[in-house]
């Protein structure tokens, strides 16, 4: 039992019943999402369902974040839809396989740690944007086909019935945990609303009205595309974007689940797991995918903390496809819509509104911008990239203004400049303005005990400053450089000329990394 517990990464004593029930709930919530995303991409519903099964199973077993759920996602669907139109499903399978290989390489080369560069304001914007997308995607369930074959908003009794069932679902999800946590509230809500619809004979929209989910075991299939450089040139750009979008969404979801569970996942391991799952998804007729924040929150909020819930979700999804499609297709969409609306409400960072007056204006701007890009462009990778770039530029600008110099002349007649703040590309101009080369003494010492040379721009600034003093017949020395700064200067020794004052008794705390 101990070996089994270690394999499933049980963080403490886990309630197996809770894990299983949470997995069943997630499996039910995966069905409409997988079908919808496959149809958005122009693929058959089973392509999305097979992807959800393979992605969910593999990442649950191998992933770096127990309790996180992966499957077919809208982010991937939006990327590949144009490729489906131009080249067909076979190219999609090949693209997903190549994307998986890229993700595996990202994990092997430990690029998962780059997620640390994403500021909290970007995460807030990302989460809020996703929450709004999840909510807006549910509004389509309030539409129905009229007699003319057009998709229009529901009216009259159909609308009231749909609203009543959705609100009933939401009420159960909100109220049941206040009474008992022995049974997942989402699953209870689905079963209760299902029972109401069946026994009361209510005519309402069901899963079967979207598409049939009946099928067999995912067939193994090698993509039928020509193995040529031309074909590789077609799929590689899409594969790179799918890999990037998938990793960004997965690693951000991992961070969110980490915060909720107060544990820490393993980003690089998750990269490898996502890549392996995508490779197998491509070979088993799936459209690929990544972590799903909505289903992950359903799983975690149901009490799941181990890998077992994700495995159960994937296996039960396959069981539904192969043996229980006729029953699952009778599930009212109102129940699943209510579940996802509650997920969107729980996903949204309502606390972010309170930070508007407390956070720097630049962080507020980044948060709002990331949210808007996520909502209107549905491009999660672009939204995060924009947020990171703006945050980095703001950080560079703020640090560029922090460089200072305290000046004095010692008893030997040498002019000292004690530098405070980092010397990098953004602060070079301010750094140069601190020195009065023409009027300075014959010997000048720059003290870097409270500063450091960060990049090539900083090295070049020191080099140019040395040349300016030499032209005036004056000598410049550098003092108290940290070890990493000395290494930078040593590596650039062939292209610069500076004088470093040796001071073996001086120790800089930053030397220890």
Q: Phi/psi zone of residue 88: left (φ > 0), alpha (ψ -120 to 50 degrees), beta?
A: left
What's the pLDDT tens digit per position in 193-235? 999 999 999 988 888 888 889 999 999 999 999 999 999 999 9
| Band (65; pLDDT cuts 50, 70, 90) | very high
Least confident of 22-26, 27-31, 221-225, 344-348: 344-348
CB 377 within 8 A of CB 369: no
**What per-residue confidence (pLDDT) applies to 268?**
93
Residue 491 clears pLDDT 90, i.e. is over it: no
- Exposed e or buried b for every residue in 440-457, given b needs 16+ CB within 10 A? beebbbbbbeebbbbeee
Q: How many residues does the chain have?
A: 513
**What gap in Å lies between CA 53 and CA 32, rounded to an integer?**
13
Residue 263 clears pLDDT 80, i.e. is over it: yes
Nearest to 294 by CA among 234, 243, 249: 249
**What per-residue confidence (pLDDT) applies to 500?**
60
Q: What share of the chain is helix, strand, coil (3-state, %, to 5)?
A: 65, 10, 30
Q: Taking CA 291 as the corner, what is the angle to CA 286 and CA 292, rounded to the nearest 5 degrees?
A: 95
Least confident of 48-62, 186-200, 490-504: 490-504
Helix H or strand E encompassing 453: none
**What per-residue confidence (pLDDT) applies to 509?**
35
| Band (513; pLDDT cuts 50, 70, 90) | very low
CB 294 within 8 A of CB 40: no
Question: How much of the chain, in percent, has pLDDT values that exceed 90?
Answer: 40
CATH 3.30.750.24 assigned to domain 402-511? The reply is: yes
| Band (511; pLDDT cuts 50, 70, 90) | very low
**What gap in Å lies between CA 313 and CA 335, rounded to an integer?**
18
Enter the DSSP assignment of 356. T
**What per-residue confidence (pLDDT) applies to 285?**
93
**What per-residue confidence (pLDDT) applies to 100?**
97
**What per-residue confidence (pLDDT) applies to 83?**
93
User: Stretch 136-152: mean pLDDT, rounded?
Assistant: 83
**What per-residue confidence (pLDDT) applies to 9?**
54
3-state secondary structure of 267: helix
**What gap in Å lies between CA 354 and CA 442, rounded to an integer?**
57
Rounded to 10°, the helix 120-138/293-301 angle is 90
Helix H or strand E encompassing 145: strand 143-145
pLDDT higher at 302 or 512:
302
**What per-residue confidence (pLDDT) applies to 293?**
86
Which residues, other chains included, contact 11 with Cβ-Cβ below 8 Å and sequence gap of 6+? 66, 263, 305, 306
**What gap in Å lies between CA 146 and CA 135, rounded to an integer?**
24
Enter the DSSP assignment of 306. S
Q: Taking CA 83 as the corner, what is the angle to CA 78 and CA 85, rounded to the nearest 5 degrees?
A: 100
Least confident of 327-331, 347-351, 416-420: 347-351
Residue 395 clears pLDDT 70, i.e. is over it: yes
Question: How much of the chain, in percent, has pLDDT values that exceed 70?
Answer: 92
| Band (147; pLDDT cuts 50, 70, 90) | confident
In the chain, where the domains are located = 2-152+211-327, 361-399, 402-511
Instruction: Kindly report the backbone phi and psi dihedral angles of residue 284, in degrees, each rounded to the nearest multiple of 5, phi listed first.
Output: -115, 40
| Band (104; pLDDT cuts 50, 70, 90) | very high
Q: Output Rg (C-alpha) for the chain, integer angstroms.
A: 29
pLDDT higher at 112 or 406:
406
Residue 490 clears pLDDT 60, i.e. is over it: yes
**DSSP string for 101-124:** HHHHHHHHTTGGGGGGGS-HHHHH
Nearest to 110 by CA among 64, 61, 72, 70: 64
| Band (171; pLDDT cuts 50, 70, 90) | very high
Tell me the average pLDDT of the chain: 86
CB 480 within 8 A of CB 503: yes
**What per-residue confidence (pLDDT) applies to 254?**
92
User: Stretch 174-189: mean pLDDT, rounded?
Assistant: 87
CB 30 within 8 A of CB 289: no
Least confident of 17-31, 50-64, 121-135, 475-489: 475-489
| Band (10; pLDDT cuts 50, 70, 90) | very low
Instruction: Kindly report the backbone phi and psi dihedral angles of residue 254, in degrees, each rounded to the nearest multiple of 5, phi listed first.
Output: -60, -45
| Band (1; pLDDT cuts 50, 70, 90) | very low
Residue 356 clears pLDDT 80, i.e. is over it: no
**What gap in Å lies between CA 460 and CA 443, rounded to an integer?**
20
């Amino acid at each position: 039992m101990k070996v089994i517990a270690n394999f499933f990464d049980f963080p403490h004593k886990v309630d197996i019943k809770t894990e299983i029930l949470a997995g069943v709930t997630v499996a039910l919530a995966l069905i409409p999402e997988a079908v919808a995303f496959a149809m958005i991409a122009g693929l058959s519903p089973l392509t999305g369902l097979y992807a959800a099964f393979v992605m969910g199973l593999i990442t649950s077993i191998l992933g770096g974040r127990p309790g996180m759920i992966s499957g077919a996602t809208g982010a991937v669907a939006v990327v590949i839809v144009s490729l489906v139109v131009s080249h067909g499903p076979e190219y999609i399978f090949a693209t997903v396989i190549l994307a998986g290989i890229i993700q595996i390489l990202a994990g092997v080369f430990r690029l998962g740690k780059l997620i640390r560069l994403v500021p909290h304001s970007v995460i807030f914007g990302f989460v809020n944007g996703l929450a709004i997308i999840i909510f807006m995607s549910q509004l389509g369930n309030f539409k129905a086909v009229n007699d003319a074959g057009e998709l229009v908003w529901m009216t009259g009794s159909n609308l009231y019935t749909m609203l009543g069932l959705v609100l009933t679902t939401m009420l159960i999800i909100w109220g049941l945990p206040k009474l008992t946590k022995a049974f997942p509230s989402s699953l209870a809500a689905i079963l209760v609303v299902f029972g109401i619809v069946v026994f009361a004979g209510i005519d309402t929209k069901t899963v079967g009205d979207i598409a049939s989910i009946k099928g067999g075991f995912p067939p193994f299939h090698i993509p039928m595309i020509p193995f040529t450089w031309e074909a590789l040139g077609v799929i590689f750009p899409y594969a790179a974007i799918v890999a990037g979008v998938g990793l960004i969404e997965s690693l951000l979801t991992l961070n969110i689940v980490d915060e909720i569970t107060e544990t820490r996942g393993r980003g690089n391991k998750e990269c490898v797991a996502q890549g392996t799952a995508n490779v197998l998804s491509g070979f088993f007729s799936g459209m690929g995918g990544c972590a799903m924040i909505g289903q992950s929150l359903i799983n975690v909020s149901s009490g799941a903390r181990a890998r077992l819930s994700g495995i159960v979700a994937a296996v039960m999804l396959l069981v539904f496809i192969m043996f229980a499609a006729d029953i699952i297709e009778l599930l009212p969409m109102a129940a699943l819509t209510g579940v996802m609306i509650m997920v969107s409400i729980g996903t949204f960072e309502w606390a972010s509104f309170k930070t508007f007056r407390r956070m720097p204006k630049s962080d507020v701007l980044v948060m709002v911008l990331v949210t808007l890009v996520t909502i209107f462009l549905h491009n999660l990778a672009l939204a995060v990239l924009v947020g990171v770039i703006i945050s980095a530029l703001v950080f560079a600008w703020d640090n560029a203004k922090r460089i200072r110099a305290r000046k004095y002349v010692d008893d030997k007649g040498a002019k000292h400049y004690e530098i405070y703040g980092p010397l990098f590309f953004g602060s070079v101009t301010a750094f140069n303005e601190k020195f009065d080369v023409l009027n300075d003494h014959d010997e000048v010492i720059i003290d870097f005990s409270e500063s450091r040379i960060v990049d090539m721009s900083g090295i070049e600034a020191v080099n140019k400053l040395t040349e300016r003093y030499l032209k005036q017949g004056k000598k410049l020395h550098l003092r108290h450089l940290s070890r990493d700064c000395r290494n930078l200067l040593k590596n650039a020794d062939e292209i610069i000329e500076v004088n470093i004052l040796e001071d073996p008794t001086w120790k800089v705390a930053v030397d220890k990394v």
